[in-house]
Chains A and B, each alone.
Chain A
Amino acid sequence: MKIYVFEDEALLLKSLEFRLSKEGYDVNCFSNGLEAKQKLQEELPDLIITDIMMPFLNGLELISFVRNDLKSQVPIIVLSAAGLEKTVLEAFNLGADDFVSKPFSPNELLIRIKKMSHRIKISVM
């Protein structure tokens, strides 16, 4: 399963790449929104994990781009700081599927990813 992770904090990005790769996922990491947009135009993953606050193109714009411009229904998990309730609601309105607030439990994130991948498998069948 191919996962794109969009996160501007380098250490967190590396940590997520490490953890998800270890779980057997094919992980691609991007540290800014424009880079992410370009990659998405080339190829769509099976799952997107994105931060809200990102340089050049924020998470909300990215979700809108995936849903409206690319017309894709690829599952999107928003990973963002707590206390941004309004923004999170906006993300859901734009088409995000799940939200994990920072600081987060890596195990919880993994469970959510597994749940998503299960959903993907069912929809493919």
Chain B
Amino acid sequence: MLTLNLILNILLLGIVPFFWGLALCFAVAGTGFIAFVLVSRKRKNLHAAQLQEISAKCQPFLTELAFEGTIPEEYRDLEKQLRSTNNGKWIILNELIKIRKYFQGEAASYIEEYYTKNRLYKLSLNKLYSTKQHQKIVAINEIMDMNYLGATRSLLQFIHKEKSPELVSNALIALTKLDYKLGLNRIIEQDIYLSDWFQLQVIKILDEGKVYEIPPLVKWTKKSTSHALMGLRLLIFSGAMDQMDELSSLLNHENDKLRLETIKAFRTLEYDEISFTLILRYYNEPTRNKCEIIRTLEVLNYKQNLAFIRLCAKSDDSEIQRVAKEALRRLTPEEIRLGVNAPIIHLFTPTLQRAV
């Protein structure tokens, strides 16, 4: 009994100080952590304030640069001083990028010239090789915004090595902006899914640069469905009417969406000769594509289309019926007169009539 009491006492006496000690350690560590957070936050705020101050100093001479093409005498020392440190260069680059976004024409050229002449592109290229993904994106955007033609080789290397499809897509867009021929050819070669967003960005760049010389559709269709879709969209964008055979062959593609876009392409390009092929294809298409064929036939100038659309208006499928009726409502009396007289109906085989 005595021994048991002794053991309990030792245990209790040992445990209680242990918990007190632990609590004390936590309190000290907690206080230290809070102090660290407060100090680093204060330092960060101070750093941000300093950056803001230096940025504000940059703005007058960068504004002068944008409008006049040169930095006035009174700012030259400050500019030189800023450019002599890495931090200063970063700040100039940031402000330069901001100001570049507002302007085009002469002002934009002055800013781009300054970026190249003062080798600020080196900062952008360094970021391109950073391990952080967001830094790489910043680098690509800077190169693109500054239209730095010297970066094409670095971008090609980056595209070759980079694993992230998002970053590769961005680099491809930048490459196309700098050198559209190189960019488009690289896109064709690249094993990557070309998203709608990506395609839109590339077309936007080509449109801004008034570039209508596009690699032939056959090159795009060979690669992948998304490449074929992009080739198709580029064909519409460039308005090239000399590749209709290649375009027609896409009507046999296994991908529903691609066939849908092909039908739309014929409508946009107003390629009347495709009407009968579309009527024949109708039978094998899903409802969505059937509706698109009706909308396209409505637009194409082929008088026999009307008879077909009228047949579609009697379809059992309510969606097809709705689209066909809408199409008929939009046709002018003159179009209807020509269509009514068109001797097309006998050309429809019984199977085709059933399909409608």
> Contacts of A15 on B, CB cut-off 8 Å?
63, 66-67, 99, 102
Are A106 and B105 in touch, CB under 8 angstroms? yes
- A contact patch SS: helix
A54 to B105, CA, bound (A): 25
Chain B, interface residues (CB within 8 Å), range: 10 to 19
- B contact patch SS: helix
Task: Tell whether A107 pairs with B105 under 8 Å between CB atoms, given A11-B59, A14-B59, A15-B66.
Answer: yes
B104 an interface residue at 8 Å Cβ cutoff? Answer: yes
B247 an interface residue at 8 Å Cβ cutoff? Answer: no
CB contact list, B91-144 vs A, under 8 A: 95, 98-99, 101-108
Are A18 and B101 in touch, CB under 8 angstroms? no
A11 to B102, CA, bound (A): 9
Total contacts A-B at CB 8 Å: 48
A14 to B63, CA, bound (A): 8
> Contacts of A104 on B, CB cut-off 8 Å?
102-105
> Contacts of B108 on A, CB cut-off 8 Å?
103
B64 an interface residue at 8 Å Cβ cutoff? Answer: yes
> Contacts of B103 on A, CB cut-off 8 Å?
103-106
B60 an interface residue at 8 Å Cβ cutoff? Answer: yes
Select from chain B the residue with minimum beta-carbon distance to A10: B59
Select from chain A the residue with minimum beta-carbon distance to B99: A11
Are A102 and B102 in touch, CB under 8 angstroms? yes
Interface string of A1-26 (1 = CB under 8 A from B): 00000000101101100110010000
A18 to B62, CA, bound (A): 11
> Contacts of A69 on B, CB cut-off 8 Å?
none
Interface string of B53-85 (1 = CB under 8 A from A): 000000110011011000000000000000000
> Contacts of A9 on B, CB cut-off 8 Å?
102
Task: Tell whether A105 pairs with B106 under 8 Å between CB atoms, given A11-B99, A18-B60.
Answer: yes
> Contacts of A105 on B, CB cut-off 8 Å?
103-107
A42 an interface residue at 8 Å Cβ cutoff? Answer: no
A43 an interface residue at 8 Å Cβ cutoff? Answer: no
Select from chain B the residue with minimum beta-carbon distance to A18: B63
A9 to B108, CA, bound (A): 18
Select from chain B the residue with minimum beta-carbon distance to A103: B104
A42 to B220, CA, bound (A): 62
A14 to B108, CA, bound (A): 17
Question: Would you give the shortest CB distance from A121 to chain B, in whole angstroms?
Answer: 25
Q: Which of A12, A18, A108 contacts B67 (CB 8 A)?
A: A18
A59 to B152, CA, bound (A): 40
Question: Would you give the shortest CB distance from B210 to chain A, in whole angstroms?
Answer: 15
Question: Would you give the shortest CB distance from B57 to chain A, in whole angstroms?
Answer: 12
> Contacts of B60 on A, CB cut-off 8 Å?
14, 18
Question: Would you give the shortest CB distance from B71 to chain A, in whole angstroms?
Answer: 13
A103 to B100, CA, bound (A): 8
Question: Would you give the shortest CB distance from A77 to chain B, in whole angstroms?
Answer: 15
Select from chain B the residue with minimum beta-carbon distance to A105: B105
A116 to B99, CA, bound (A): 26
CB contact list, A86-125 vs B, under 8 A: 102-108
Are A19 and B105 in touch, CB under 8 angstroms? no
Interface residues of chain B, those whose CB is within 8 Å of chain A, are 59-60, 63-64, 66-67, 95, 98-99, 101-108
Known: A14-B59, A103-B102. 18 other contacts (CB 8 A): A14-B60, A15-B63, A18-B63, A19-B63, A19-B67, A103-B101, A103-B103, A103-B104, A103-B108, A104-B105, A105-B103, A105-B104, A105-B107, A106-B66, A106-B105, A106-B106, A107-B105, A107-B106
9 nearest A-B residue pairs (beta carbon): A105-B105, A103-B104, A15-B63, A18-B63, A12-B102, A106-B107, A19-B67, A103-B103, A105-B104
A-B contact pairs, 29 of them (CB 8 A): A9-B102, A11-B59, A11-B95, A11-B98, A11-B99, A11-B102, A12-B99, A14-B59, A15-B66, A15-B99, A15-B102, A18-B60, A18-B63, A18-B64, A18-B67, A19-B63, A102-B102, A103-B101, A103-B102, A103-B104, A104-B102, A104-B103, A104-B104, A105-B103, A105-B104, A105-B105, A106-B105, A107-B106, A107-B107
